[in-house]
Amino acid sequence: MKEIKVDTLVIGGGSAGMAAALEIAERGFSVTIAERENSMGGILNQCIHNGFGLHHFKEELSGPAYAEKFIDMVDSSKIKVFLDMTVMDIEQTTDDLTAYGLSRDNGMVKFSIKTVVFANGCRERNRGSIGTPGTRPSGIFTAGLAQRLVNMEGFIPGKECVVVGSGDIGLIMARRMTWIGSKVKAVIEIQPYPAGLTRNIVQCLNDFDIPLYLSHVVGEIHGRDRVESIDVIPLENGVEQKDKSFNIKCDSLLLAVGLVPDNELAQKIGITINPETNGPVVNRQLMTGQNGIFACGNVLHVHDLVDFVTEESERCGRYVADYLDNKKPADQYKTTPGKNVKYLVPNYYSPKEDNKFYLRTMIVKNRAELVVKVNGKEITRKKLNHIQPSEMISFSIPGGKVENISELHNNILEVQIV
Amino acid sequence: MSKEIFDVAIIGAGVVGSAIARKLSSYNLKVALLEKECDVSFGVSKANSGIIHGGFHHGSEYLKSKLEVQGNRMFDRLEQELHFPFRRCGIMVAAFSVEEMKTVEQLYMNGVNNKAVGIEMCNRSRMLSLEPKLNDDVVGGLYAPAGGIIEPYRFVFSLVESALKNGVKLFTEFKVTSAEHNSNGYGIVSEDGKKIESRWVVNASGLFADEVSGIFNAEEFKITPRKGEEFLLDRNSAARTEHVIFPVPDHVSKGILVIPTVEGTTMLGPTAIPQDSKEDVSTTAINLKMVFSSARRMVPSISGRDIITSFTGLRPVLESGDFYIDVSAKQPNLIQVAGIQSPGLTAVPAIAEYVKDLLKKDGLVLTEKSSYDPTIDKLPRMRTISPVEADELIKSDPAFGEIVCRCESVSEAEIVAAVKNGHTTLDGIKFYTRAQMGRCQGGFCTDRIIKIIQRETGLSYEDITKRGKASWILEDKIGDLEVNSYGNME
Amino acid sequence: MKKEMICISCPMGCRITAEWENDNDIKVTGNKCPRGIVYGREEILSPRRVVTATIDINSSSLGRIPVMTTGTVPKGIIDSLLNRIYKMHLETPIARDDIIMKNIDDTGIDLIATRTVTT
């Protein structure tokens, strides 16, 4: 069995893994990326639409182009990349970390490492996750699978389809299906408001007169062998109005019903998972509850924009390098989501250092405010133009801003949306 | 089609027909196994709960009780020969009231009368020490250590592989629609006009046993499908128990169980609802709630967040409630094997012996085949081997180094093996390898599996289906459809 | 005349209003950046969109190569453009930003590859 000694093993060569690895390599540490697919870039490779990179590169790129800019940087760095490699297991002893990855060309490779970065992204929720009743015919695809079949293989998953979920992935796929000659008969959204960006409602649905059914759910799937139709049920005050249900004939159903961080390996080795994000609980340095194991990108929490993934992962890379430099972190205290906040990442902050946070709210509101409190005292307040659960919010607390740290209190940093 | 005259044609390649076929393959006989679906185990058997029962649910007056206890004992040897996933994890029945404990006593007496191995009555603390995840409110129950779990479809696949290895001929997509008695025995004709001849016929056609009996002008009886919905939880679910947990049964069914499947997931179900349709395997929202509340009563840590999929099976139920296994009294050379509902899977090895004896009694000459080999090759599974073993395996076949299904760690080599064993649909590959069966339900691997099927079989993408018939996946490629997305622009 | 719309130039999605007497004098309000003015005018005169698609390629690693227009093109030509793109076949190697179709229908806009495919 091949054995490799390296400072950091980055699991996943998508936007998160590449950004983290580049920062670690920049600081002079040895880094290896293990990527499952035959090229780096992750899910960006199938996101051929434009709209990536506005924040990071100040230009509007397709997913593959955004990925390629990073792939080029990785290729010209000292980072070692294993393609077609699946990491099967991680073992942790007191000081040592061992990881096992396998590939066709290398067999099983044993990595002796000091640090691991989980950067292996998320997976799609599917029919089982939303519990849609009915028959079990062919023609039910998660939107991501359909996107891969269309954009990378050139297949058409159905001639007449219904999209479930109005998040950006659902909207983008509605346009894509239309642009390959299929008829999109409807987009069904359980919430009373669209989950995706307004611009995508305009250019992906309105441009083609695709009906968007807000506050509706799929009641039942029909068809013995292949999908033949679906029942759609309106909701009133959250209650299904079965007498008002209607049927839509279609040969395919695209499910864009959310993403979940893919943390099977982390769970297997006992890393504590935050049930609100399904990602690991991490400290200010994005390190999980186990020493030397970090997480960034969509495996930590699901992001809206790849630009945010890059920002977070570059920071993660710097924290990993600090850890390898034996730089001792300053004292940390817990963070907690308060009023109207679904989750807050990271789960710890350091009063003496700069802190960057990502959060999601639970409400839709115009002209909201974000309030940060420690020990009951307001630390800072930020005006927010428009907020909704599907749009991630970020803010920073600079080092020294929190002055009321006291041994008499728990010093928990609470974030509210009011 | 086939000009040869078979000695025995078995109608139905579910677990019953496949076990009979394998049993008969140990004798010098020409055996045909006929299946209406495109793959074996695609009827009742694929949605079975996979319980190897403990021999206490039914009184000794039933044929099914006798065969259940006999069948249970035969599984260890079968596992050694056929390598299907099997574990004697033990079965527990949890009672939550003094009244329920009275029923448990009855079950215990059934078990003793049926000569079930190792069965015991448990008080509350014994129940909780055996199974700490049980609800604290449990008052006592029953423990049957000989009970266990298997993967039912893998069992069928192994039985068929063994049968084929020993000379049985399998005819899939052979839906029997007519039969005539002639000097050779029977001429059996399929829906699409294929015909085979056989001296004896075994009717093991599950839900359709009544209709097949009708085709042969044999006994009249009615099979009523009883629907069972099941829910599968992620392998990381905290609610996974060590034992199969039963509630105290009612008069209709054995109730909603918590099943730690042999492959690491947890299954909840099944419901038990009689229906008319033999095709309707839809799931319903109401039953989901019912299954969860019933299962949670026994194991409170069960969470809806862990659901990865649901499915429905239909049990073939006869009015008598017992198995009907006998030589037809109305037609010559016909054996009826009908009403094989729970504990049918457990009883199956004994059913195969029983049917073999009936055939012998009916005049079929049985001589043992000297070349009979009861074992099949064991296919390595990447998920269950050590890093060193994995490294060796990849050296011998690099396709083991390509993980196609990340959730269940299934390699390309395992998928190729499935295809080579005749499982060329997405569901066939799913049941053979577990690829697409994990938490992403095929989201990441379906496209890769389609490519492997195409490469190994030469099939075009249009011909690849989920489970045969019209269950096509992809019909068109980009460029086949004219784009007219913006309508008529003014 | 007056038309309310949502600017799609970036993910902000500003709600903008276009008011005009004639085609030469369209006034846009509500925009948070200059691109809103351009978008508002275009949406009145001749609505335009960026097009992304894929083209068949003889690659061993990839079935289709992603392509994109270098700017917006009039909506009216998009269906015809897509139907033409889907009939094309490309040979490797192709580099990101390589021009696949120059000056599409005299719009001044090119179609470029957005991924490098070497083999």
- Residue B461 has what pLDDT? 96
In one-letter notation, the amino acid at residue A210 is I
C105 interface with B at CB cutoff 8 Å: no
Interface test with C, best of A179, A180, A306, A386 (most C CBs within 10 A): A179
The residue from B53, B57, B243, B423 that is catalytic is B53
Q: Read out DSSP for A269-322?
A: TT--B-TTTSSB---TT-B-SSTTEEE-GGGTS--S-HHHHHHHHHHHHHHHHH
**Residues in chain B, how many?**
490
Number of neighbouring beta carbons within 10 Å of residue B171: 19
Nearest chain B CA: its distance from C32 CA (Å):
29
Shortest CB distance from C54 goes to which of A48, A54, A202? A48
Question: Residues 359 to 398 of B: which have CB under 8 A from any A CB?
Answer: 382, 387-388, 390-391, 394-395, 398
**Token pair of B227 as six digits:** 């629907």
DSSP E strand boundaries for A127-251: 140-142, 155-156, 160-164, 183-188, 212-213, 216-222, 229-236, 239-240, 246-249
C8 interface with A at CB cutoff 8 Å: yes
A50 interface with C at CB cutoff 8 Å: yes
Q: Do A202 and C8 touch (CB under 8 A)?
A: yes
Looking at domain B382-463, its CATH architecture is Orthogonal Bundle (1.10)
Task: Report chain C residues whose CB lies below 8 A from the CB of B485.
Answer: 78-79, 82
CB B403 within 8 A of CB A36: yes
The residues of chain B that CATH labels 3.30.9.10 are: 88-146+225-316
How confident is the prediction for chain B on average, in pLDDT?
Answer: 95
CATH number at A302 reads: 3.50.50.60
CB B309 within 8 A of CB B266: no
Question: Predicted confidence band at B489 (pLDDT cuts at 50, 70, 90)?
Answer: low
Which position has the token pair 């700069």? A354
Kindly give, in sequence order, each residue whose CB lies less than 8 Å from that of residue A16, ignoring residues fewer than 6 positions away.
A42, A119, A121, A296, A297, A298, A299, A309, A310, A312, A313, A316
Nearest to B21 by CA among B13, B88, A321: B13
Q: Which residues does residue A328 pair with via DSSP β-bridges, in sequence order? A: none
Q: Do A198 and C75 touch (CB under 8 A)?
A: no
Number of neighbouring beta carbons within 10 Å of residue B127: 23
Separation between Cα atoms, residue B306 and residue B163, nearest integer Å: 38
Residue B1 has pLDDT above 80, yes or no: no
**Token pair of A264 as six digits:** 């099977």
In order of their start, the domains of chain C are 2-45 (no CATH), 52-113 (3.10.530.10)
Separation between Cα atoms, residue B285 and residue B40, nearest integer Å: 30
Separation between Cα atoms, residue A80 and residue A12, nearest integer Å: 13
Q: Please give the average per-residue pLDDT across A155-163, as a whole number.
A: 97
- Residue A153 has what pLDDT? 95
**Token pair of A166 as six digits:** 């109005």
Nearest to B261 by CA among B343, B151, B144: B151
Residue B252 has pLDDT above 80, yes or no: no
- Residue C74 has what pLDDT? 95
Its sign, for the CA torsion A130, A132, A136, A137, is negative
Count of structural domains within chain A: 3
Q: Do B402 and A107 touch (CB under 8 A)?
A: no
Separation between Cα atoms, residue A293 and residue B473, nearest integer Å: 40
Tell me the pLDDT tens digit for each residue of A188-222.
999 998 998 888 999 999 999 999 999 999 999 99
Nearest chain B CA: its distance from C63 CA (Å):
11
Q: Do B485 and C78 touch (CB under 8 A)?
A: yes
- Residue A199 has what pLDDT? 84
**Token pair of B384 as six digits:** 């269950």
Separation between Cα atoms, residue A62 and residue A43, nearest integer Å: 12
Tell me the pLDDT tens digit for each residue of B272-289.
989 999 988 888 878 878
> Measuring CA to CA, how many Å separate A8 from each of A12, A111, A321?
12, 9, 9
State which residues form the domain around A197: 126-257
Tell me the pLDDT tens digit for each residue of B337-372.
999 999 999 999 999 999 999 999 999 999 999 999
- Among A329, A353, A377, where does a domain finish? A329
Instruction: Please indicate, yes or no, whether residues A138 and A172 belong to a single structural domain of this protein.
Output: yes
Q: Do C11 and A51 touch (CB under 8 A)?
A: yes
Separation between Cα atoms, residue A200 and residue B364, nearest integer Å: 72
Separation between Cα atoms, residue A106 and residue A92, nearest integer Å: 23
- Among A221, A240, A257, where does a domain finish? A257
Instruction: Please indicate, yes or no, whether residues A101 and A155 belong to a single structural domain of this protein.
Output: no
CB B283 within 8 A of CB A134: yes
In CATH terms, the fold of domain B1-87+147-223+318-378 is: FAD/NAD(P)-binding domain (3.50.50)
Its sign, for the CA torsion A169, A141, A300, A36, is negative
B53 classed as catalytic? yes
Question: Predicted confidence band at B65 (pLDDT cuts at 50, 70, 90)?
Answer: very high
Q: Do C82 and B483 touch (CB under 8 A)?
A: yes
- Residue B155 has what pLDDT? 98
Nearest to B143 by CA among B241, B19, B33: B241
Instruction: Please indicate, yes or no, whether residues A200 and A117 belong to a single structural domain of this protein.
Output: no
Strands A229-236 and A216-222: antiparallel
Residue C53's Cβ-side half-sphere holds a number of Cα atoms within 13 Å equal to 28
- Which regions in chain C score pLDDT beneath 50? none
Tell me the pLDDT tens digit for each residue of B303-345.
988 888 888 999 999 999 999 999 999 999 999 999 999 999 9
Residue B2 has pLDDT above 60, yes or no: no
**Token pair of A299 as six digits:** 């495996």
Q: Please give the average per-residue pLDDT across B234-243, as a whole number.
A: 92
A337's enclosing H/E stretch is strand A333-337
Instruction: Please indicate, yes or no, whether residues A115 and A157 belong to a single structural domain of this protein.
Output: no
Instruction: Please indicate, yes or no, whether residues A253 and A130 belong to a single structural domain of this protein.
Output: yes
Q: Please give the average per-residue pLDDT across A320-342, as a whole number.
A: 95
Whether the upstream peptide bond of residue B343 has omega within 30° of 0, thus cis, is: yes
Shortest CB distance from B401 goes to which of A100, A107, A142? A107
Its sign, for the CA torsion A204, A207, A208, A209, is positive
For domain B88-146+225-316, the question of CATH label 2.130.10.10 is answered with no
Tell me the pLDDT tens digit for each residue of A18-33.
999 999 999 999 999 9
- Residue B490 has what pLDDT? 45
Instruction: Please indicate, yes or no, whether residues A113 and A62 belong to a single structural domain of this protein.
Output: yes
Instruction: Please indicate, yes or no, whether residues A146 and A62 belong to a single structural domain of this protein.
Output: no
- Residue C3 has what pLDDT? 87
DSSP reduced 3-state for A154: coil
CA dihedral B392, B396, B399, B404 (to 10 degrees): -30
Task: Report chain C residues whose CB lies below 8 A from the CB of A54.
Answer: 10-11
- Among A311, A329, A347, where does a domain finish? A329
Instruction: Please indicate, yes or no, whether residues A119 and A266 belong to a single structural domain of this protein.
Output: yes
Q: Please give the average per-residue pLDDT across B219-228, as a whole number.
A: 95
Instruction: Please indicate, yes or no, whether residues A193 and A84 belong to a single structural domain of this protein.
Output: no
pLDDT > 70: percent of chain A: 100
Question: Residues 59 to 88 of A: which have CB under 8 A from any B CB?
Answer: 84, 86, 88
Separation between Cα atoms, residue A334 and residue A283, nearest integer Å: 8
DSSP E strand boundaries for A77-177: 80-82, 86-92, 97-103, 107-118, 122-124, 140-142, 155-156, 160-164
A20's enclosing H/E stretch is helix A15-26
ipTM, interface predicted TM-score of the complex: 0.94
How confident is the prediction for chain A on average, in pLDDT?
Answer: 95
Instruction: Please indicate, yes or no, whether residues A247 and A264 belong to a single structural domain of this protein.
Output: no
Instruction: Please indicate, yes or no, whether residues A267 and A253 belong to a single structural domain of this protein.
Output: no
Tell me the pLDDT tens digit for each residue of A46-101.
999 999 998 999 999 999 999 999 999 999 999 999 999 999 999 988 778 999 99
Nearest to B127 by CA among B303, B298, B301, B300: B298
- Residue C17 has what pLDDT? 92
pLDDT > 70: percent of chain C: 99
pLDDT > 90: percent of chain A: 90
B8's enclosing H/E stretch is strand B5-11
